[in-house]
Structure 1
Amino acid sequence: MNKCPYCDTELPEETPVCPRCGREQAGPAGEAAPDDTVTREAVIGKHADEYIKKFDRMAAAHTPVSWNTAAFFFGALWMAYRGLYVQALCYTLLASCVGWRVTDPLQSAALNAALWILTGVFGNRIYMSAVNARLTKARTLQGAAREAYLRRNAPGARGVLIFLAVLAAIVFAVLWYASSD
């Protein structure tokens, strides 16, 4: 058994990438693992240095929790900006179901507050898992294919996403207005 030098996770022999922190391990001859910070920065995009520090702290402490203020305040918008489209859709559907099905305002507010808090607490873990999956995929590619993959999966605001967010807001507003009669 080997240990990851970054997060001290026990690893089977010949494991190329740590499943916990997503970093490449030393080669078979014991040479140092290549520095993957550039690749992590390319996958993360803006504020990569902050996220890398948080991910490394979480991996070293073996904890899935870490506070993310942007995830707390912006939830689905933060997820969509970071390229977590499925998670953003699930968050939106869950928040919508709470709003539509829970008629008591106090219960609805409490459930939404719980959803916000859970998103703030586990947002970094959700994002770290997605970044590690993207890194694993990017490391299987070479040259132009790798660059195209990183460019295609780079987080950030896209015109299509902005259009879909506005469209979703209009649809939800119409549904809410129609159900309030």
Structure 2
Amino acid sequence: MNCGKPCDRASLNCEQCRQQLYEGEQELERELRLFVGKQYPFYKRKWEREQTRKLKWSWNGWAAFFNVLWLGYRGMYRTALLFLFMVVIMNAVSYYIGWNYGLPIINTMPAALLLVFVACIGLGLFANQLYYQHAIRRIYKLKAKGIANEAAETYLLQTAGGTRKVGIALLLAAGVVLSSISHRLFPTDLDIVNTVRNGSLYNYPLYSIGESFEQYFHQPSWQYYRAPDGLELVEFHGFKAGTERTKIVIQFLVDYQLGEIEPYSLEINGVVQEEAAFYELMDSVYSVQNPFELDDDLDKGSEKNAL
């Protein structure tokens, strides 16, 4: 697997190309074939091509496209987890510096998505060499045990390498868990806005804020702000139907970790209103009737019905 120049069998590296050697090329090739499995001819061609390049790269489209899943499929769990943790760290950095804008539908921060894209390209270029180094390390560890039985050594090489479908499932589960933790600890603006939209006010616990507001007001929209003191605010904009076009702006103070929502301010046509005006507006929005005051026609003739 080196440049083809003769090498001292006692040497660990080729003096010409610095390629790592191990007990002769033929022995190493046999062990690599056992370790890799059916796809060994594919990887052998890639590794031979890499020897002609200083950076030792060759393209692997499967690794670029499936990234973490490919790493799990080939048993490189540490690298896969490092990949996932890098995304979480990028989300944390984006959140704390205020760049926690979530892209629509996928709800992923742009910085994290850019990191994933760059990492996928890098993995596509260097995945084959990464896999080669992984295979060499595992083979060295097995050989260091000094297994005398050749059949046992062959079995251990095959089980240590090959492919792992269970690895895909494990990495998928790890990805879901880490994504949930990331969104919980380092929410995007969409996460925080949806906390308000899906939440309810204390006086109207049976109705979601989002559904009620978006049905009552015209041209509803939501915006997220982080105040200089670290407070997180969600601002609702809409227009109230009536004889005149009335612009409504309502701010909610959000504690995302505790899931608490508190009305913060109300503006009507740019004028800040008192608390009483807010509750009066909410009564109009929700139009809630006390169920105990509903006429169920079961008490006709009673004093209540007469009144």
TM-score, normalised on structure 2? 0.47
Q: By how many angstroms is 1:81 displaced?
A: 1.0
**1:104-163 per-position Cα deviation (integer Å, ceiling 9, x unaligned):** 54433322211111111121121111122233344453324412421331231243x344
Higher fraction of helix: 1
Number of the residue aligned with 1:136: 140
Aligned with residue 45 of structure 1, among 37, 43, 52:
37
Q: What is the DSSP-based 3-state SS (H/G/I as helix, E as strand, rest coil) of the residue aligned with 2:64?
A: helix
Answering whether residue 181 of structure 2 is matched by residue 175 of structure 1, we say yes
The gaps in structure 2 that reach 5 residues or longer are: 95-99, 102-108, 193-307
Higher fraction of strand: 2
For 1:42-121, list aligned pairs within 5 A: 42-102=34-94, 103-104=100-101, 105-121=109-125
Number of the residue aligned with 2:10: 14
Distance verdict in 2 for CA 1:138–1:62, change over 3 Å:
farther
Answering whether residue 137 of structure 2 is matched by residue 127 of structure 1, we say no
Distance 1:165 1:61 in 2: 32
Q: By how many angstroms is 1:20 displaced?
A: 2.2
The gaps in structure 1 that reach 5 residues or longer are: 26-32
Q: By how many angstroms is 1:84 displaced?
A: 1.1
- Which protein, 1 or 2, shows the higher relative CO under an 8 Å CA cutoff with sep ≥ 6? 1
The structure with the largest alpha-carbon Rg is 2
Q: By how many angstroms is 1:7 displaced?
A: 1.8
- Is the 1:22–1:135 contact (alpha carbons within 8 Å) kept by the matching residues of 2? no
Q: By how many angstroms is 1:87 displaced?
A: 0.9
Distance 1:124 1:134 in 2: 15
Number of the residue aligned with 1:29: none
Q: What is the DSSP-based 3-state SS (H/G/I as helix, E as strand, rest coil) of the residue aligned with 2:173?
A: helix
Aligned with residue 152 of structure 1, among 156, 159, 163:
159
- Is the 1:138–1:150 contact (alpha carbons within 8 Å) kept by the matching residues of 2? yes
- Is the 1:17–1:136 contact (alpha carbons within 8 Å) kept by the matching residues of 2? no
Distance 1:45 1:96 in 2: 34
Q: What is the DSSP-based 3-state SS (H/G/I as helix, E as strand, rest coil) of the residue aligned with 1:61?
A: coil
Distance verdict in 2 for CA 1:22–1:84, change over 3 Å:
farther
- Is the 1:79–1:85 contact (alpha carbons within 8 Å) kept by the matching residues of 2? yes
Distance 1:12 1:22 in 2: 10
Distance 2:132 2:33 in 1: 12
Distance verdict in 2 for CA 1:74–1:154, change over 3 Å:
same
RMSD, aligned CA: 3.0
Q: What is the DSSP-based 3-state SS (H/G/I as helix, E as strand, rest coil) of the residue aligned with 2:116?
A: helix
Distance 2:55 2:183 in 1: 42
